[in-house]
Amino acid sequence: MNIALIGYGYWGPNLARNINQHPVMDLYYICDNNENRISEAKKLYPHTLLTHNTDDIINDENVHCVVIATNPSQHYKLAKQSLLSGKHVLVEKPMALSFKETDELINIAVSNKLIIFSDFTFLYNGAIKKIDKIIKSGDLGRILYIDATRINLGIFQNDVNVLGDLATHDLSVILSFIEEKPVAVSAVGRCHIKKDIENLAYLTLFYNSDLIVHIHCSWSAPVKIRQMIIGGDKKMLIYNDIEPSEKIKVYDSGITFNYEEKESILIDYRRGDVFVPKYDTTEPLKIMIDKFANCVIKNQQDIKNIQISLKIAQILDKAKLSLQNQGKTILL
Ligand SMILES: NC(=O)c1ccc[n+]([C@@H]2O[C@H](COP(=O)([O-])OP(=O)(O)OC[C@H]3O[C@@H](n4cnc5c(N)ncnc54)[C@H](O)[C@@H]3O)[C@@H](O)[C@H]2O)c1
């Protein structure tokens, strides 16, 4: 399977390494319009074809799949060109800059029987897969809230705001954890540095049930925090991605209301044991690349991946609208 990688910046080299190590993939082409990045690629992959011109890839019939790891504003154009020239596409998150573009790419892929797949790396992360199992086993009880924080002194992007850049990770995970779909969103944020590009934002998802999800993203924080608190009515869980090994902690803690007392409500606080579960530590990108390869081999779309791409695009579109309207709640 001949793979062409477009975009060899920060993330591209991680994709290149995993493609190169995959048993059925051949890292056939690397493309970047920055000559320095091409020189870097040449040092590690002397036998791979190198180019700064994406047309070389689009027009090459030997290329079976195109992997796109450029800045998000380039995703739609490059994915569309690749699909229209008969190539399967793996595109970095976010798949495109709007729901309309995302939907169009998926339609082109499906109608041409080509695979389209988005890299939601965290879905293949062992700790996240473990949390998914814990939630679905019912151990936490009914999920009441999810509170996610993804902040650091991050690289300011030119073509997406901080939600498009960072919240995509949390959204992909939360959408896969919880079967119920959000029905409305609200977002507030600020553009302190670049006009119309929020570097700090707070996104809330509302559901028909009393579940509430809040995601705080920032490129302007002095410390790196990658944390998610999941509150169930039986137990609560904290996921800390910065922790080197013990990323998940399940707290047998909760609050019980005793309504039997007629005069007043009695509140019981339960502070029980903390459990630290084990999880698989295989590199998520290796698993993601393999999932994509299997989709291509079987010529079968990953429906979950497609549904999540569409839902994230819809949420981000509505979040933009809410940001422009000082946090107004927007129905999905
Ligand atoms: N899945 C993850 O965990 C993860 C992590 C980081 C970044 N990403 C995603 O990866 C993508 C790239 O991010 P990055 O941080 O590597 O950005 P980057 O700016 O470091 O790299 C992008 C590279 O693409 C090249 N490029 C841009 N347009 C091009 C074009 N038309 N033709 C050829 N080359 C082009 C640039 O020269 C640059 O080298 C983004 O979509 C980002 O959201 C995903």
Name the residue at shortest CA distance from atom 34 of ligand 1. Answer: 32
pLDDT of residue 255: 81
Domain annotation covers residue 303: no
Quick one: tokens of 251?
């707290």
Helix (H) / strand (E) element for 295: namely: helix 284-298
pLDDT at site 86: 98
Co-location of 174 and 113 in the same domain = no
Asked if residue 291 belongs to a domain, the reply is no
Q: What mean pLDDT is predicted for residues 70-94?
A: 98
Claim to verify: residue 231 and residue 165 sit in the same structural domain: yes
**Do 130 and 219 belong together in one domain?**
yes
Examine residue 292 and state whether it is found in any structural domain, yes or no: no
Q: Per-residue pLDDT tens for 187-200?
A: 999 999 999 999 99
Q: In CATH, what number is assigned to the domain containing residue 200?
A: 3.30.360.10
Q: Percentages helix, strand, coil for the chain, rounded to the nearest 5? A: 35, 30, 35
Asked whether 3 and 27 are in contact (CB, 8 A), the reply is: yes
CA distance 13 to 18: 9
Smallest CA-to-CA distance from 240 within 125, 121, 106, 158 is with 125
Instruction: Please tell me whether residues 274 and 189 are part of one structural domain.
Output: yes
Cα–Cα distance, 214 to 58 (Å, whole number): 41
Whether residue 87 sits in one domain with residue 34: yes
Give me the pLDDT at residue 272, please: 86
**Among residues 119, 135, 164, which one ends one of the domains?**
119
Asked if residues 224 and 242 have their Cβ atoms less than 8 Å apart, the reply is yes
Q: Does one domain contain both 208 and 105?
A: no
Q: Which atom of ligand 1 is found nearest the CA of 120?
A: 1
- Of 59, 91, 119, which one is at a domain's C-terminal end? 119
Q: Is residue 136 part of a domain?
A: yes
Higher pLDDT among residues 268 and 167, named by residue = 167
Asked if residue 103 and residue 151 are part of one domain, the reply reads: no
- As a whole number, mean pLDDT of residues 62-71 equals 98
Biggest CA–CA distance in the chain, Å, is 79
> For position 262, what pLDDT does the model report?
63
Question: Is residue 230 within 8 Å of residue 143, measured between CB atoms?
Answer: yes
What confidence tens digit (pLDDT) does each residue in 268-300 have?
Answer: 888 889 999 999 999 999 999 999 999 999 999
How many other C-beta atoms are found inside a 10 Å radius of the C-beta of residue 70? 23
CA–CA distance from 35 to each of 52, 92, 140, 303 (Å)? 7, 22, 51, 37
pTM: 0.96
Q: Report, as an integer, the average pLDDT of 310-323.
A: 98
Domain containing residue 30: CATH number: 3.40.50.720
Take atom 27 of ligand 1 and give the residue whose Cα is closest.
Answer: 70
Please check whether residue 228 lies inside any domain of the structure: yes
Q: Quick one: which H or E segment has residue 145?
A: strand 143-151
Range of the domain at 114: 2-119
Q: How remote is the CA of residue 73 from the centroid of ligand 1, in Å? A: 10
Same domain assignment for residues 136 and 270 = yes
- Classify residue 110: in a domain, yes or no: yes
Residue 160 CA, closest ligand 1 atom number? 43
Task: Please tell me the number of Cα atoms within 13 Å of 131 on its side-chain side.
Answer: 33
Give, using CA atoms, the residue closest to atom 7 of ligand 1.
11
Amino acid at 16: A
CA atoms within 13 A on the CB side of 167: 31
Counting residues of the chain whose pLDDT is more than 90, the rounded percentage is 92
Question: Do residues 325 and 203 share a domain?
Answer: yes
Question: 102, 119, 136 — which closes off a domain?
Answer: 119
Which residues, at least 6 apart from 181, have a Cβ–Cβ distance to it below 8 Å?
A: 175, 207, 311, 332
Same domain for 264 and 165: yes
Q: Does 260 reside within a domain? A: yes
Q: Total domain count for the chain?
A: 2
Closest C-alpha to ligand 1, atom 3:
121
CA distance 294 to 198: 37
**Ligand 1 pocket test, candidate residues 70, 74, 93, 171, most atoms within 8 A of CB:** 70
At residue 313's C-alpha, the angle toward residues 115 and 214, to 5°, is: 130
DSSP code at position 299: T
CA distances from 237 to 13, 132, 254 (A): 33, 11, 11
Domain contains 289? no
Q: Which residues contact 35 (CB under 8 A, 6 or more apart)?
A: 52
Does residue 233 share a domain with residue 87?
no
Query: 82-117 b/e with 16+ CB inside 10 Å = b?
Result: bbebebbbbbbbbbbbebebbbbbbebbeeeebbbb
pLDDT of residue 5 exceeding 70 = yes
Q: Are residues 177 and 265 in the same domain?
A: yes
What pLDDT score was predicted for residue 269? 84
